[in-house]
Structure 1
């Protein structure tokens, strides 16, 4: 999600935060300053809208009250952040699944590699380091 927001130049309201101006804008502001304030507000609301659009119905009520994209992002972090113990346990389970993975008799090579890469990608998410050699070795060893 972070990459998606960065691709659309919407990460700044989350990383730096956005604070809406209090009340009316002063009359002595330059056109450039007003334009910058409006641009920051637009980016914030675009990012917030994007975050609203990608959540499930069960999580939406938790972020609907957020007035800034940073607030919504912090809610997501609290909701989805796993503890270190949970991460280690999940990684052990995935390592076991990886070690026991083998190609089934009726399975195509493409389907097997897809299953393998799904496990490898999940392990990478939880912090496991993989090289292409390990992936290729597992495929070659596991082929029927």
Structure 2
């Protein structure tokens, strides 16, 4: 299945930090900003998470949920949430099932080494579960504001 703007967003089931199983379909009736990020506690991912935290109330006022996904284990997500007071759901994708569905599990290169990892990406899903916007290869600076502006202009 190829992910495409205008189509239904691929559903998945992952474990949340509270240990409960969560499906994307559970959020029908709300807009969703689904963001994939490489790793908890790293500079770029921390900045991005804190930006989503700082704008969380604005997203909430637009009936929009924020969900973060990375391959980190539940315990690491819990520490990340606690350390930075993150008010939104983080999901555990250790086997990168959702990342593969959303085509963000990619071959990456860093300092001459190749490895598989998450390509920082954000998806906006409307109340009916349709993918309405995507950003791939996200640069952190200004991104959360751009996502908020999109939701404001197109889904409010």
Q: Same fold (TM over 0.5)?
A: no
Structure 1 or 2: more helix by fraction = 1
Structure 1 or 2: more strand by fraction = 2
TM-score using structure 1 length = 0.21
TM-score using structure 2 length = 0.20
Larger Rg: 1
